[in-house]
Chain A
Amino acid sequence: MATLREIRRRIRSVQSTAKITRAMELVAASKMRRAQENALAGRPYAEKMHWVLADLAETLGLMDPETIHPLLRARDEATAIEIIHITPDRGLCGALPGNLNRSIAQFILEKREQTPEVAIRIVAVGRKGRDFTRRTGQEIVAEFLNQGDYPGYEDVRPIAGVAMDDFIKGECAEVYVSRGHFVNTVTQEAEVFKLLPVEPPEDASTHGVDYIYEPDRAAVLAELLPRYVERTVYEAVLDAIASEQSSRMVAMRNATDNASELVSDLTLVYNKARQESITSELLDIVGGVEAMSG
């Protein structure tokens, strides 16, 4: 039976842990909101780009495969594929890093089974994924650590740059992005999607506008495509951050709840023990009095 003092000490320690997890929950909540706002702020740019690309692709579908822009060209024989694996840098965010790593592992295993001759290369964004892919002996071609909680577009561009370089040079035939997708505050999904070759959106609601393209369609497309890829990666990173923070928020809320539950359990034990010691002291006194008067 723990002594009263020991129980009191445990209660105090659990209470201060709860204070910390509560603070972390609040911090994560505000970071999550900010990440969502950042993602929303870029929406008009993304939408406009989306349908300009759709419009261009509609006419360029007729283009000669020889002169097609390299970022659009599908390769016949693949020697390697690249996966941009976006994960948190820090822990204490629940099951998310584990889920992300499991998702990419499954993806790699499937690819290995389908096409065993194709090499798989990893661009690791974030420490959790870097450590995992290194531990499992994957080939890591680039790593981006400590991007911070609010990376700007400029911070993310090099990530897309690495992928586009390798793709254009023909070092990989496809590029995928693996990241946490923010569904809502309590749900994040690990998802893998294809980045390259760019598959232009087909819902070409061109608004029936016949643009004058200057200097010409191909030139505009050549300028637009890299930015489209960068923007897609940027969006993926913001999405990953929002899901990391929401996952952390939920994990910390659970921790706080568990701690307060523990505190109330311990308080019960403490009160019982206190009551018991008072009772036994009383019995001692009563016993003593009885003995003397007897």
Chain B
Amino acid sequence: MPLSVHIVTAEREVFTEDGIDEVIVPGIEGEMTVLPEHAPLLTMIKPGVMRIVKSGEEIDMAITGGFIEVRQDRVTILADAAERAEEIDTVRAEEARRQAERALEEREADVDLAAAAAMLQRSLMRLKAVERRRRRSGTRPGPPGV
């Protein structure tokens, strides 16, 4: 029986789909592949790119950490923020990265360093996810919502 995958953030449900063959997530203890019939599991996810394989097709998601729960072929990911690669505006990601880098360099008193570092990491993840898509499909990703 294939997996059903749900990715939820505190703000919304990002992804819900049945019939998934395989989920590959950047687990806290290394990359981890979840196949059907997996034992009940609860663990943390590192920021990175996760992959969902459905009948030979791969879907990439940038993920910034969170939890994964596996229970009876139902995979629930409590994500801090998960966005579909298509959704990601590369320009925005790059701009966010520049801004975060600037903030890190300037070390302004009122700039929260931790927030800046997190922002930098997040935008790097987005870029990575977009790049992976671009390499495989050989085309540039369209604007969000297309």
Chain A residues close to B by CB (< 8 Å): 38, 41-42, 44-46, 48-49, 52, 152-153, 158, 207, 209-215, 219-220, 223-224, 227, 230-231, 234
Residue from the list A38, A220, A230 in contact with B42, Cβ < 8 A: A220
Contact status B42-A234, CB under 8 Å: no
Q: Which residues of B contact A227 (CB under 8 A)?
A: 10, 78, 80
How distant is B141 from chain A, measured CB to nearest CB, in Å?
Answer: 23
Interface residues of B toward A: which range? 20 to 34
Contact status B71-A209, CB under 8 Å: yes
Q: Which residues of A contact B28 (CB under 8 A)?
A: 214-215
Answer yes or no: B43 CB below 8 A from chain A CBs. Answer: yes
Contact status A38-B11, CB under 8 Å: yes
Answer yes or no: B104 CB below 8 A from chain A CBs. Answer: no
Answer yes or no: B29 CB below 8 A from chain A CBs. Answer: yes
Q: Which residues of A contact B95 (CB under 8 A)?
A: none
Known: A49-B78, A214-B27, A215-B28. A223 touches B10 (CB 8 A): no
Contact status B13-A41, CB under 8 Å: yes
Bound-complex Cα distance A231 to B10 (A)? 7
Bound-complex Cα distance A153 to B14 (A)? 14
B11, closest chain A residue (CB): A153
Known: A214-B44, A220-B42. 5 other contacts (CB 8 A): A212-B39, A213-B41, A214-B27, A214-B29, A231-B10
Answer yes or no: B12 CB below 8 A from chain A CBs. Answer: yes
Q: Which residues of A contact B10 (CB under 8 A)?
A: 42, 45-46, 153, 227, 230-231, 234
Q: Which residues of B contact A52 (CB under 8 A)?
A: 42, 67, 69
Residue from the list B11, B12, B27, B67 in contact with A223, Cβ < 8 A: B67
Contact status A44-B42, CB under 8 Å: no
How distant is A42 from chain B, measured CB to nearest CB, in Å?
Answer: 5
Q: Which residues of B contact A220 (CB under 8 A)?
A: 42-44, 67
Residue from the list B27, B39, B69, B112 in contact with A48, Cβ < 8 A: B69
Contact status B78-A214, CB under 8 Å: no
How distant is B74 from chain A, measured CB to nearest CB, in Å?
Answer: 11
| 6 nearest A-B pairs in the assembled complex, by CB-CB distance | A214-B43, A41-B12, A45-B8, A211-B42, A44-B8, A211-B40
How distant is B68 from chain A, measured CB to nearest CB, in Å?
Answer: 10
Q: Which residues of A contact B29 (CB under 8 A)?
A: 214-215
